[in-house]
Structure formats: C-alpha cells, structure tokens
Amino acid sequence: MSNALNGADAMVRMLQAHGVRHVFGLCGDTSLPLYDSLLKLDHGITHILTRDERSATYMADAYARVSGRPGVCEGPSGGGATYILPGLVEARESSHALLAITSDVSVASYAKYPLTEVDQEALMRPLTKWNTVIRRADHIPRMVRAAFRAMSTGRPGSAHLGLPYDIQYDAVEPADIWADPALQNFPAYRAAPQPGATEAALDAILSAKSPLIVCGGGVVIAGAMEALDRLARRLDIPVATSISGQGSLAETHPNAVGVVGSNGGTDETWEAMEAADLVVFMGCRAGSTTTARWEAPKPGARIVHFDSDPMVIGANYPTEVGVVGDLALALAEMNTLLDARRDLDAGFDGARRASDIRRRKFDRFAARAGSDDRPIRPERLIAALQDTLPEDAVILSDPGTSCPYLSAFYQLPRAGRHFITNRAHGALGYALPAALGAWYGRPGARVVALMGDGSFGFDCGELETVVRSGADITFIVLSNAEFGWIKASQKADKGARYYNVDFGRTDHAAVARAFGVTSWRVEDPAALVPTLRKALDHGGPTLIDIVMQPLEEAAAPVRRWMG
C-alpha cells in the first residue's frame, strides 16, 4: 500500500466523499482515533459536540428532515451505543436517512469481557434498515458506501456502522476512498410506478363520487408538493394529511382539509374521512393514528394507495389499486395523464368542502383562542404563534401537549417540511435537541421548538450545546407540572383515577438563564404576543416558560378524549 490511511482517517474521508457537512456526537474512549482524524484532516465537516448520544440522533434526524441530506451522528461503545437507539428507530419508522456510527471495543478483545462490550450488531438490527459492525479496516469504505446506499434508496431509513477501536489504526488503501454522488441526498435512485398502475389509479379516482386524498410524510420526503398542488386544483379534490404529512400542501391551500385522525384531527376534518367513498392514501401507511384505530375509512370504502414501500399496500385495507413508486414520479405521471384527457369533466367540489370544514373548525377554535383564562389556554398560544412567526419558520414539537394543538389549528402557510414532530415512536425529549439539528440543516430559517415541562426535563442540558453553537432558536415550554398526555388519558379511560403523573413546578426560565439563554416566564395571556416578538427579535437562543392549562382540563383535539 502507498500513502495508506488508517481506519479512522478512512471513515472521515468516506463521510467527506458522501458530502457530509455536519456530524452530531459525543466523545468516548473508543472514539479517540476517530476524533483525532476529525481534528487533523482537512475535510470541511463541522462536528457538534452534544451532551447525550440520544440528543445527537435527534439532531441528525431533524437535520435530515429539513435538508434532504442524510443526517449523521456518532457515539462511543457501551452506554453510548445504547443511548443512540431511540433516534435510530424513529428515523427508520419515519423514513428519513440517518447514519449512526458507534465506535466499539477492539475486535481483538471480543468475548474477553472488556469494559463496555455489547453486541452492537444484534442491538441495532431490529431498529435499523441496514446495520453492521466492521471487523477489518479495509472493509470501511465499502461498508460506508453500503450504508449510504441502503438508507437513501427505496423507503429511506436509518443505518448503523460499528467501528471497533483497533481497526481504526489499521491501514486502508486511499484508492478505495470514493462515493456515489447520487447518495448525497435522499430519496436516491427513485423508482417509477409499474406501467399502467397510475392510469388505473386515476380511473378509480374519477369513478368516485366523493373521493379524499390523505397524505402522509412520503409526499414531503419525495418533494412531490408541487405535483400534488396541481393535481388537487385540476380535480378540485379535497386533501387531508396525517401529522407527518403536514406540509404536503400549504394549509391555506383552497383544497386543504387539515389533519385527520385521532391526534390533531377534529370532528370537522373527520367528517371528510367518514364521507369519502374512495380514499387515496399517498405516502401514508394508514396506521392507527391517521385512521383513529381504523375507524375510518369505513368497511366497503374503496382504497387507492400510493407508496414507495410495497409492504404498506394492502396492509390494513383491501386495496383496489396499489401504485408502488416514488411519489414525485407517480404524481407527475398522474398529471400528464390528466393533461391528455381533453374530454375530462371532473371536479369533486373539494375547495368548497374544504373551505366549509376549515370555517367551522376555526370558528370553534376562535372562541377559545380569545380566552383570557389563567392558566393560559393552549389555543391562545397557537393564535399568538400564528400572529408572530414568519412564513418560513420551522416549528418542532414534542408529541405531548403542544403537538395536537399545532397540528389541528396552526395553519402552515407554505408547503414543505416546516413542522417536525417524532410521530413514529413519540419519545419525549425530542424537540429541544432536534431544533438544533434543524437550525444547522436549514440556515437562516427561524426555528421554534415547543415542548411540555415533562419533555424539558429529559434533555435541558442540551441548552448548553445550543448556546455554544450560537443558535438562533426560540424554545417554548408549556408548563403544567404533569405528564399531561397520560393524565388526560387517565381521566378519559380510568374515570379520572390519577396516579403518579404529577411532579413539582419548575421555573424553566431560570434554568435556561443558568445555561446562558435569554428567557421569560409568562402567566398573563396578554403578554404572549409581546414576549414572542421580543424572543424572535432577540438574536441568539431564547426560551419562554408559559404557565399552561392542564391538559386534562383542556379541549385537546384528541379523538378518544372527546367522548
């Protein structure tokens, strides 16, 4: 070998070759060679030191969602490998490309009971789309290529590479450092639908009397928003979304119904699901939340299903037409077919129906949004955000109190990924670190992250990371001194028999100030808009701690709590 690199150098060079610009991670003993290579090589990668490996994966996850590039995180062996798991399963199930690199004990010490030994390959296998522990340094380049190919193609997902300590010192031939530039973004190598499938789907739609499109996250991941907009207007068909599908259309679009389902849906939007004689699922798995545990579509309703993953077609409903392929390619073909049908006399009155749904929903919302009650109602906060945030804002939410209100009542004025929440597994503690990943992934955008006080307690230490990064992020804590989602569920499902869901009230603004974050505490509803404007104009990280109505006393848009 000539001018050989060592294994750690090769890993850095392979990330560079794949266009990686940011890596989120946490140092450890087994990562010493990797960190030394990151220090000494000229590679153009910014490494963001986090305070928790779990946070690193959430940062990489949100980075991927807003940038369309694979997110990359890293951590050490032992505890680092176990802490990195939550973000891997979230990215896999949410269909975003995320690579986790965990350094490992030396191959030479396997089965000799070294400190921090764990079978990383077995640990990661059920949580990733692709996974291996590399056992020879000369395998590093092709294993990195395989990881990027797996996580970026087909239905995107997470990948894991284990990097043992000793092979980081072994030689790698520089000539093997190369990458496929097509894998720098995802989805890569898009597949078109089978010939005739899209036309069959169009025929089915045109034969219906009252069809409804329901979009999942696949539309935004594929970048099919413009094609969907054209289709919706051409057919005048109503379009609803899951929470993950928000941004498929701007929610001010004339055909936009809003979120449907058991979380973030309302009685008004649910009417569209129940009234549809044909439902077109687009990039949506038709899972338990979107269908309110398969309460609708009703038995006998016709189903047309578009998805890049053939496994979801027909998984929950008998499907009349399945279209397997990239959503952008499929919708482009659908529009081309429509253009060729000159005698087409279609129009499903979608704009009028969607307008009626939105009007009734927001009439009801307005009554609560104008309330001067204390503690502050969540609806009052949503209205304040709608009044103050710029159109290009990126809003993140933990899956607790803030998520259903944002999904139901905050109208995203632009298509695309402007709202992020971890809907696949719903772990608390996501929004705070994920906001930093979004800030790095979409420079210049205003990033706002909402969370309950239960979530804040999971990872408030990452406020130091945010301050160190100089990130212009506004954090909003909905403070009600309880795990509100569970308490509201105990009220609805267990006759208000509350057990172990309350905790002490914390001054989150004071905690944030201790980390160097400019902060405010708000108890008066009239102070919401002025305080939000101060935070948004401040420059640098800010936090607003809002004393909020307990969730079990609120009128949250969660179907099973509405009786």
What is each CA distance from 449 to 25, 507, 525, in whole angstroms? 21, 18, 19
Instruction: Tell me how far apart the alpha carbons of residues 233 and 338 are, in angstroms, rounded to a whole number.
Output: 12
**Residue 95 carries which DSSP code?**
T
Residue type, 226: E
**Nearby residues of 63 by Cβ (< 8 Å), 6 or more positions away:** 22, 24, 69, 71, 437, 438, 440, 441
Our CA angle for 468, 472, 476, nearest 5°, is 100
Is the CATH code 1.20.140.10 the one for domain 5-184? no
Write down the pTM of the prediction: 0.97
Torsion-angle region of 290 (φ positive above 0: left; ψ -120 to 50: alpha; else: beta): alpha
The burial class, CB within 10 Å (0-12 / 13-18 / 19+), for 443 is exposed
Phi, psi of 334 (to 5 degrees): -60, -45
Centre a 10 Å sphere on the Cβ of residue 190 and count the other Cβ atoms it contains: 17
Tell me whether domains 5-184 and 371-561 share a fold.
Answer: yes
Burial 23-46 (b: 16+ CB within 10 A, else e): bbbbbbebbebbbebbeeeebebe
At 547, which helix (H) or strand (E)? strand 542-547
Instruction: Tell me how far apart the alpha carbons of residues 402 and 182 are, in angstroms, rounded to a whole number.
Output: 37
Fold type of domain 197-353:
Rossmann fold (3.40.50)
Domain definitions of the chain by residue range: 5-184, 197-353, 371-561
Q: How far is CA 252 from the centre of its chain?
A: 21
Q: What is the pLDDT of residues 372-412, one digit of tens each?
A: 999 999 999 999 999 999 999 999 999 988 999 999 999 99
Q: Positive or negative, the Cα torsion across 279, 282, 283, 289?
A: negative
Structure tokens at 458: 């999971």
Q: What is the pLDDT of residues 441-480, one digit of tens each?
A: 999 899 999 999 999 999 999 999 999 999 999 999 999 9
Q: Which of 11, 60, 24 is nearest to 165 (CA)?
A: 11
Question: What three-state secondary structure class fits 29?
Answer: helix
**pLDDT tens, residue order, the chain (563 aa):** 457 899 999 999 999 999 999 999 999 999 999 999 999 999 999 999 999 999 999 999 999 999 999 999 999 999 999 999 999 999 999 999 999 999 999 999 999 999 999 999 999 999 999 999 999 999 999 999 999 999 999 999 999 999 999 999 999 999 999 999 999 999 999 999 999 999 999 999 999 999 999 999 999 999 999 999 999 999 999 999 999 999 999 999 999 999 999 999 999 999 999 999 999 999 999 999 999 999 999 888 899 999 999 999 999 999 999 999 999 999 999 999 999 987 676 689 999 999 999 999 999 999 999 999 999 999 999 999 999 999 999 999 999 889 999 999 999 999 999 999 998 888 999 999 999 999 999 998 999 999 999 999 999 999 999 999 999 999 999 999 999 999 999 999 999 999 999 999 999 999 999 999 999 999 999 999 999 999 999 999 999 999 999 999 998 999 888 75
Instruction: Tell me how far apart the alpha carbons of residues 255 and 214 are, in angstroms, rounded to a whole number.
Output: 12
Decide: 243 and 289 in contact? Cβ < 8 Å. Answer: yes
Q: Which CATH architecture does the domain made up of 371-561 adopt?
A: 3-Layer(aba) Sandwich (3.40)
At 346, which helix (H) or strand (E)? none
In DSSP notation, 330-344 reads HHHHHHHHHHH-TT-
Torsion-angle region of 9 (φ positive above 0: left; ψ -120 to 50: alpha; else: beta): alpha
